[in-house]
Amino acid sequence: MTELAEAGWPLSVGTEDALEGRLLGKLERMGRQRALETAQTVLDRRCVEAAHLVLADEQGAPGYVHAGFAMTALPHKRVDLAEWVRDGADVRLRIESGKTHGGTVVGIPYGYVARLILLYLQTEAIKTRSREVELGRSMHSWLKAMGLNSGGKGYETVREQSRRLSLCRLTFYRISESGEAVLNGSFVREAILPSRDTGGSQMSLWKETVLLDEVFFESLIRHPLPVREAAIRAMSGRSMAIDLYIWLAYRLHHLERPTRVPWPSLHRQFGAGFAHARQFKAHAREALALALSAYPEARVRVDDEALTLMPSPAPVPERPRPALAATRRVSGS
């Protein structure tokens, strides 16, 4: 520890290092085990583990989300609303809860699990260039690999969020100089869940395939945002960290100069559920530390007034994508 003290580094490694851009250098110098030994809090250890997981990810497998989710997002926690509206920059997202056949409001999808299910559906659609996405064992195995326990309480959470995602309606509004573009649709055309639970087995959680909504799929094909699956896994259970990571993945590599984003702007964009900006800021700093740990290429300065975003490499190097003409159509859509 003497060499670190002589270098002017605090003995604890983790959260503050991530926020100040020092974590990668410390981790490379100290190694994972030594860094973990100095970590003083649970979040410090999570930041170290997240950075290590991404650095050790040689495959760099990409996942994909609709670029619109970089500016807006689902709720972090359960909300007792039939409609959810969020604004971000020039985008507005409106999600309307679906209803059962008896007219009962199902609720808005929310939290980490809903985001993980959507990430799988969008990633598979981009990879196969098809609206028809395989579920069953494929999705079960993927969720397990991403750190989600789909047994017991986890099973019920996945089932509930799948139900909400299957029935909700969404509208993206994009405002530009040429006017307002409106995208109406839903996430899926067919329910993610089987019509009946065949005895409570984990495999009965999914149908064999699901058909994405045509409007949502076509927009996703035009506006895919690559993210790193290892990074999402490293942020397991932290929905705000995932939202901030996706936002940074979208913004940083498009910047031409440093851009300052005040905390109140972040509160308006990501702070639903936080009535007071101070409460949001404390929570968001922790989420941001984890997001930056999982995005070691990001160059961000954090101070009491704002974040300063600087041009940075994308978390996933750009790769050639199949031409839109190669998109497979599903009969009967």
Digit-coded pLDDT (tens) for 126-178: 999 999 998 877 888 888 888 887 666 777 888 899 999 999 998 888 877 67
What pLDDT does 53 receive?
Answer: 94
Task: Specify the DSSP element, H or E, that contains 19.
Answer: helix 15-19
Backbone torsions φ then ψ of 80, nearest 5 degrees: -90, 60
Compute and round to an integer the Cα radius of gyration of the chain: 20
Cα–Cα distance between 247 and 231 in angstroms, integer?
13
3 C-beta neighbours (distance < 10 Å), count: 9
- For residue 169, the SS3 value is strand
What pLDDT does 327 receive?
Answer: 43
Residues 62 and 53: beta-carbon distance below 8 Å: no
- For residue 132, the SS3 value is strand
Residue 161, both tokens? 């969020």
What pLDDT does 120 receive?
Answer: 93
Report, as ranges of residue numbers, the positions in the chain whose pLDDT lies below 50.
1-2, 5-6, 203, 322-333
